């Protein structure tokens, strides 16, 4: 679906057991990862700040696809969606296939980055996850996109 962003959380831990979360924001049409917010706790306000930063450079999507997690059903995100003319498309409980693209992305993130790295601090986690994210967008060809990178494909869609 064009103009649809998919969101979901992935959790992990630092070397000392402190929990961290990652919030990937994906363009469901171009398969481009627009951002991955990483912190120890990501609230609804955090989600809105992340979306605002993306919207500042790309404009708002028509739809946000996400699950029914507390950060996504928060009043602050609901107000943001209303103010930006964005429709929320919530997955049915227990149906991760409703947001299959982000689930697939998150499994790659987990396998290739989170499971492959030992995070010494939140800053270390942010750096390593950002490096993986940049590789995903800028270096890795995707078969679904005609063996172009997500960034290359997104650029051709913006020019069209």
pLDDT tens column, 66-94: 988 878 888 999 999 999 999 999 877 77
Q: Is the pLDDT of residue 104 over 50?
A: yes
CB 27 within 8 A of CB 2: no
Task: Report the Cα 68 to chain-centroid distance in Å.
Answer: 15
pLDDT confidence of residue 76: 94
pLDDT confidence of residue 122: 97
Q: Rounded to whole angstroms, how far apart are CA atoms 2 and 104?
A: 18
Which tens digits make up the pLDDT trace of 128-155?
999 999 999 888 777 777 777 777 767 7
Q: What are phi and psi of 141, to 5 degrees?
A: -75, 145
Global pTM value = 0.88
Q: Is 40 helix (H, G, I), strand (E, B) or coil?
A: coil
- Domain limits of the chain? 4-105+113-125
Report the CATH superfamily, name and number, of domain 4-105+113-125.
Ribonuclease H-like superfamily/Ribonuclease H (3.30.420.10)
């Amino acid at each position: 679906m064009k103009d649809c962003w998919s969101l979901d959380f992935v959790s992990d831990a630092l070397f000392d057991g402190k929990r961290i979360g990652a919030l990937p924001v994906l363009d469901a049409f171009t398969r481009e990862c627009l951002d991955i917010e990483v912190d120890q706790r990501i609230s609804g306000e955090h989600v809105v700040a992340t979306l605002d930063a993306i919207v500042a450079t790309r404009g708002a999507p028509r739809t946000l696809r996400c699950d029914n997690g507390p950060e996504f059903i928060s009043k602050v995100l609901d107000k943001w969606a209303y103010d930006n003319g964005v429709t929320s498309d919530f997955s049915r409980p227990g149906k991760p296939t409703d947001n299959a693209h982000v689930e697939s992305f998150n499994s790659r993130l987990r396998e290739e980055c989170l499971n492959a790295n030992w995070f010494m601090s939140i800053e270390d986690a942010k750096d390593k996850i950002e490096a993986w994210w940049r590789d995903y967008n800028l270096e890795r060809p995707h078969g679904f996109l005609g063996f172009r990178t997500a960034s290359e494909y997104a650029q051709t869609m913006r020019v069209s």
